[in-house]
Amino acid sequence: MIMTKLLCFLLTITLFQLLELAISRREQVTTPPLPVLPLPSYTQLKWQQREIIMFFHFGVNTFTDSEWGTGKENPAIFNPIGLDANQWISAAMDAGVSLVILTAKHHDGFCLWPSNYTDHSVKLSPWKNGHGDVVQEFVNAAKARGVDAGLYLSPWDRHDPRYGHDLQYNEYYLAQMQELLTRYGNVREIWFDGAKGPNAVNMSYYFTEWFAMVKELQSSINVFSDAGPDVRWVGNEKGFAGSTCWSTINRTSLSIGNGSIVDYINRGDPRGTDWLPAECDVSIRTGWFWHKSQSPKRLSKLLKIYYNSVGRNCVMLLNVPPNSTGLISEIDIQRLREFRKAIDTIFSANLADKCTTKASSVRGGKDGGFGPENVLDSDHLWTYWAPRDNKNDDYWIEIKAQDQEGLKFNVIRIQEAIGLGQRIKEHEVYVDGKLVAKGSTVGYKKLHRLEYGVVHGHFVKIKITKSRAPPLISSIGLHFDPYWHPNNEQ
Ligand code: FUL
């Protein structure tokens, strides 16, 4: 009897101990920090991770050697006899692109799909005897290869007589938008271009109604315009973001087609209450449309644009215009392949991979799950180094080479865990105690291509000298860019 009681007693004690252990284990799991508003939406995060997306400018201008059609073009000139949208998508895939955007209608008003609301379209062209639909071929080809599709529908329309009559034109525009957003499956981005010529007829666009209908008809779409609501224009057509580029901005200060905001949208605003990241549009050639006389930009130029867009917390929207046969020219395809190969060469190896890491402090201590080693894993969003919450702390993270040889690199990549807000305002990078780079905000991705070329060292320390809240760093990379020769930069 006594033995049984003793056993029961011992068992109870053991159970208690186990329970205590379980509770203390549970207590060790540290919660993630509070986000700092504003935050990206799910679709904005997906968009940001694409890094490079592609534009196809195609239409009557392709056949008239012009950039802005007059609206008086005869649809009979549109005859891309060799059109093969699969080839366009292959070209995009060669460049590692997962979203492609087609100009369904440009300023000339010619529609690449058979709209019910106008005859100024493929219907009156000789291409496929008027039975063709470029938008359909484009989305079919994209879908078949797992690439997402987006559409550009120009607000400025130089052909349609309703343009200039507010109600009629807005109804026409909305009718066309409904066709595009209901006939062709998922559309991931819609491009509202604020451009119009200086002598364009006066006209008010009913943006509020337009945006509301877009969101009604498509669940995972990003709306692009000078002022968002999901993605903003970067303020130029060179593909360059400001060296400081916040994804945050005040939308109330923005309007579409307003030249005076270009500097503001190029930089963003650390005090902004809206998450509205910038997209950097640029053409691989001089023009947006194909012209026989033009050729693609050099690789060094494309890489410079990449560093100044993707490397400044933006997405690069690269235009590659199909030619009058209806194909992407071979010379552009070659350049796209070179571009992709260069990016892979530079970034597929992280020289920091085998390094050890150290940080000023760690949220929840060393077992809290927020250690500095997180910056070297393959997740660039949801695993991150977080320091403890203490406003008076200095924040730094250090990467140390494990062997005597040390590290040789000329590019530093830093990524913030933007899912919890963009926080870093200023940072500095030291190699063996010497300052090699400094910058302002970081955001999804900041690339420093080192001004003086390759550095060699054993310790790389990143100091965050100003931030809106304790900084959260999701990834750090040290890379070697063999294409970077600072002295011959053009
Ligand atoms: C501009 C347009 O005027 C150009 O033709 C081109 O479409 C470019 C992407 O946007 O505003």
Q: Do 337 and 393 sit in the same domain of this protein?
A: no
**Residues composing the chain:** 490
Q: Do 79 and 130 sit in the same domain of this protein?
A: yes
- Quote the CA–CA distance of 206 and 176 in Å, as a whole number: 14
C-beta 73 within 6 A of ligand 1: no
**Which residue numbers in the chain have pLDDT < 50?**
6, 8, 19, 23
Do 398 and 358 contact (CB within 8 A), yes or no? yes
Closest protein CA for atom 8 of ligand 1? 288
- Quote the CA–CA distance of 231 and 274 in Å, as a whole number: 11
Ligand 1 atom having least distance to the Cα of 191: 9
- Of all helices (H) and strands (E), which one includes residue 466? strand 459-467
C-beta 288 within 6 A of ligand 1: yes
Predicted pLDDT of residue 390 = 87
Ligand 1 atom having least distance to the Cα of 106: 7
Predicted pLDDT of residue 8 = 47
**Closest C-alpha among 116, 111, 117 to residue 78:** 111
Of 68, 106, 193, the one to substitute when testing ligand 1's pocket (max ligand atoms within 8 A of C-beta) is 193
Ligand 1 atom having least distance to the Cα of 152: 7
Q: Given 293, 320, 347, which residue is the final one in a domain? A: 347
Q: Given 347, 366, 401, which residue is the final one in a domain? A: 347
Q: How far is CA 481 from CA 272, 284, 342, 348, 461, in A?
A: 34, 21, 8, 11, 20
- Quote the CA–CA distance of 235 and 309 in Å, as a whole number: 12
Q: Do 222 and 371 sit in the same domain of this protein?
A: no
- Quote the CA–CA distance of 241 and 269 in Å, as a whole number: 13
Ligand 1 atom having least distance to the Cα of 156: 3
Ligand 1 atom having least distance to the Cα of 68: 5
CA of 198 to the centre of ligand 1 (A): 14
Predicted pLDDT of residue 86 = 98
Question: pTM for the full model?
Answer: 0.94
Q: Do 204 and 130 sit in the same domain of this protein?
A: yes
Q: In this structure, what CATH number is given to the domain that contains residue 483?
A: 2.60.120.260
Predicted pLDDT of residue 249 = 98
CA of 45 to the centre of ligand 1 (A): 25
Q: Decide: residue 426, CB within 10 A, 0-12 exposed, 13-18 middle, 19+ buried.
A: middle
Q: Do 253 and 379 sit in the same domain of this protein?
A: no
Domain that holds residue 387: 356-488
Predicted pLDDT of residue 14 = 59
Q: Do 302 and 451 sit in the same domain of this protein?
A: no
Q: Do 285 and 325 sit in the same domain of this protein?
A: yes
CA of 327 to the centre of ligand 1 (A): 21
Do 272 and 252 contact (CB within 8 A), yes or no? no
Q: Do 299 and 259 sit in the same domain of this protein?
A: yes
As for how many domains the chain has, the answer is 2
- Of all helices (H) and strands (E), which one includes residue 18? helix 2-28
- Quote the CA–CA distance of 474 and 481 in Å, as a whole number: 22
Strand partners, 464: 395, 427
- Quote the CA–CA distance of 395 and 420 in Å, as a whole number: 17
Q: Given 326, 347, 368, which residue is the final one in a domain? A: 347
Q: Do 360 and 297 sit in the same domain of this protein?
A: no
Q: Do 218 and 235 sit in the same domain of this protein?
A: yes
Q: Is residue 9 one of the residues assigned to a domain?
A: no
Q: Do 188 and 237 sit in the same domain of this protein?
A: yes
pLDDT digits (tens, 9 = 90+) for 21-52: 554 555 569 999 999 999 999 999 999 999 99
CA of 18 to the centre of ligand 1 (A): 67
Do 449 and 442 contact (CB within 8 A), yes or no? no
- CB contact set of 202 (below 8 Å; sequence gap of 6+): 164
Predicted pLDDT of residue 1 = 54
